[in-house]
Chains A and B, each alone.
Chain A
Amino acid sequence: MAFVTWFKRNVVVIAGLLTLAYLLLPNVVVTVFSFNRPKGRFNYQWQEFSTDAWRDPCGVSGLCESLGLSLQIAFWATLGATLLGTMIAFALVRYRFRARGAVNSLIFLPMAMPEVVMAASLLTLFLNMGAELGFWTVLIAHIMFCLSFVVVAVKARVMSMDPRLEQAAQDLYAGPVQTFLRVTLPIAAPGIAAGALLAFALSFDDFIITNFNAGSTVTFPMFVWGSAQRGTPVQINVIGTAMFVVAVLLVLVSMAVGNRRKRQKA
């Protein structure tokens, strides 16, 4: 009876933790198999423990080159999408203008469209224009689909900002430029940072649109895709694990720093 009561009260917690396990299971597998020494070309079955791949992560030809290229594209795409998206977000929140509905739709549609449709459409355009597929076409595509997400993130932040803060700055002798640099931008910064982070993650991990528009250029997800057809090197798991660990560590460290700063000030 006591157990039944306990179970009833905690059924949500149990179900939630099971979902969490479902979400994390593949990461556990990826990590474990980064220490595998597979027989044959595919790394799907456990054979024996080995740290070979960790000692030589770039040991597969093309892997680290593709990783570098992906990071490079993600960096420039983030920069471009964040800049353009932030400008749009400010225009949407702060100004009145004609055709607001059309603008909103144009920003919403890329998010409501399956990637394969955007990918195919963009490829059609590039083929029609006779553009050479490669780094630039991929970068253009990435900025395009990251843009809307940045707009949404920044817009939410700017909308929740008290307009009186900017009026207070003006009242305290800050001209329009100073007001923007000293008050508006710092307060909107978390929203812009969130948008940029999202853009980076989306760009770095994108496969479908990249695959259509990359020509013979190979990004990291494309490398993984290719190896899934030909044979998966253990190094893929090494890189996947390393990125997971680095991401979690970065977040934990930044949280710890934030907490300590809060405690010192209080």
Chain B
Amino acid sequence: MKTTEETTAGGGDVRLTGISKTYGDFTAVHPLDLTVPEGSFFALLGASGCGKTTTLRMIAGLEEPTAGTVHLGDQDVTALPPYKRPVNTVFQSYALFPHLDIYENVAFGLRRRGIKSVKKQVEEMLELVQLGEQARKKPHQLSGGQQQRVAVARALINHPKVLLLDEPLGALDLKLRRQMQLELKRIQTEVGITFVHVTHDQEEAMTMADCVAVMNAGRVEQLGTPADLYENPRTTFVANFLGTSNFIGAEVDSTSGDDIVLKAGGGKLVLHRARASAPATTGGKILAGVRPEKISLTHADDAGGIPEGRNRITGRITESSFIGVSTQFVVDSPVCPDFEVYVQNVDRDARLVPGAEVVLHWNPAHTFGLDAAQDVDAGVGTAEEEVA
């Protein structure tokens, strides 16, 4: 049985030190150090099999790390079994006890800790997740969204230092998922507990989390705020996994002050030195990336009107699809055969149809530079596979 000392010692930040997990020859998680600050909403994002769930389960104590330690605040909990850790989990597909009603499911943790009068707490918690009416129903009588809220209530009622969420919204349909994202965010703000959230859905991670760690093949590829990851991806995997990116293989032509001038397909592109995550030496290779929505599209006949100082590329439209708020174009250019461009439908130029010759241009500040020695397509499609 858990003692109160264990629950109160130290703060609520989670510290993983050199933690790793191997199964036979397979390394699920490579040694990693990670600190989740107290009170934050932290997301572990990655495709299935990237090690994110294993990491989560090591924090919960459901998986024993092969090496390394787990600290909650100042307390080393590596050797503690799950029932002695001040951590609770919202399981994938919820794992509600089918033989107990909603009330008893929520009261389960309190009762195991020997708390006698649970009525008031359970009722309050059911109110928080708006399920007061359903207390005496069995889990299978509830909808997916309601079951999900019971799972959250069952974990939160124990006032854990950290709440772990393992793909908590994976079983819900799209609309409900959006609703529950906001709901979870609201609850987190209300209770102020550290949330660690595992998901394969980049949109979910970006909407909810203060800080996202993108995982790939048992390693953390990059860690940062959602905006930081999106604007400054440091690997092609992150650039492709979060949204869409266009890549141009380029050669460093010269450097001048804060700018790096790149040579690609006969043209010149400018990259700000601060946004290059690979060293730039004259003559060296670099991958120049740019997001589709940063690009403007101008018909070749009007090319003269494009202001000076913008990066530009010529090409021919091969596909266009109208999706309401924007139109998405695919452009065949000498430097990249399928350049994606999203244009807001403000003033639609009727000449921009497949076959039209166009100039793509964007502010050099939106270019980011990556190490050229990586797979350009890393992370493409891995997110969608699972959603379907």
Q: B154: CB under 8 A from chain A?
A: yes
Instruction: Tell whether, in the assembled complex, residue A172 and residue B81 are in contact, meaning their CB atoms are under 8 Å apart.
Output: no
- Give the contacts of A149-169 with B (CB-CB under 8 A): 162, 164-165, 167-169
Residue B88 at the chain A interface, CB threshold 8 Å: yes
Please, how many angstroms separate the alpha-carbon atoms of A167 and B62 in the complex? 7
Which stretch of A8-16, A173-181, A206-214, A237-245 is in the interface?
A: A173-181
A266 touches B (CB below 8 Å): yes
CB distance from B41 to the nearest CB of A (A): 20
- Chain B's closest residue to A186 (CB) is B99
Question: Interface digits, A90-130 against B, CB 8 Å rule (1 contact, 0 not)?
Answer: 00000000000000000000000000000000000000000
Question: How long is the Cα–Cα vector from A172 to B113 in the complex, in angstroms?
Answer: 9
Interface-forming stretch among B135-143, B186-194, B250-258, B355-363?
Answer: B135-143
With a CB–CB cut-off of 8 A, which chain B residues contact A172? 83, 88, 108-109, 112, 154-155, 158
Q: How far is the CA of A169 from the CA of B88 in the complex (A)?
A: 10
Interface residues of A in 176-225 (CB under 8 A from B): 178-179, 182-183, 186-187, 189
Interface size in chain B (residues, C-beta < 8 A):
31
- Measured in the bound complex, the distance between the Cα atoms of B98 and A189 in whole Å is 12
A175:B95 contact, CB within 8 angstroms = no
Can you give 22 A-B contacts (C-beta < 8 A)?
A: A162-B95, A164-B91, A168-B89, A168-B91, A168-B97, A169-B97, A170-B61, A171-B82, A171-B87, A171-B89, A171-B155, A172-B109, A172-B154, A173-B1, A173-B83, A175-B81, A175-B83, A182-B108, A186-B99, A189-B99, A265-B138, A265-B141
A interface residues, how many (CB within 8 angstroms) = 21
Give Cα distance in the complex from A182 to B105, angstroms.
11
B296 CB-CB contact with A under 8 Å: no
**Which A residues are within 8 Å of any B CB, using their own CB?**
162, 164-165, 167-175, 178-179, 182-183, 186-187, 189, 265-266
- Check B83–A170 contact: CB distance below 8 A: yes
CB-CB under 8 A from B60, the residues of chain A are: 171
Question: Distance (Å) between the CB of A258 and the closest chain B CB?
Answer: 13
Query: In the docked arrangement, what's the CA distance between A174 and B113, Å?
Result: 8
Tell me if B136 and A170 are in contact (CB < 8 A). Answer: no
Pairwise interchain contact B158-A168, C-beta atoms closer than 8 A: no
Report, nearest first, the 4 A-B pairs whose CB atoms are least far apart.
A172-B109, A164-B95, A173-B112, A168-B95
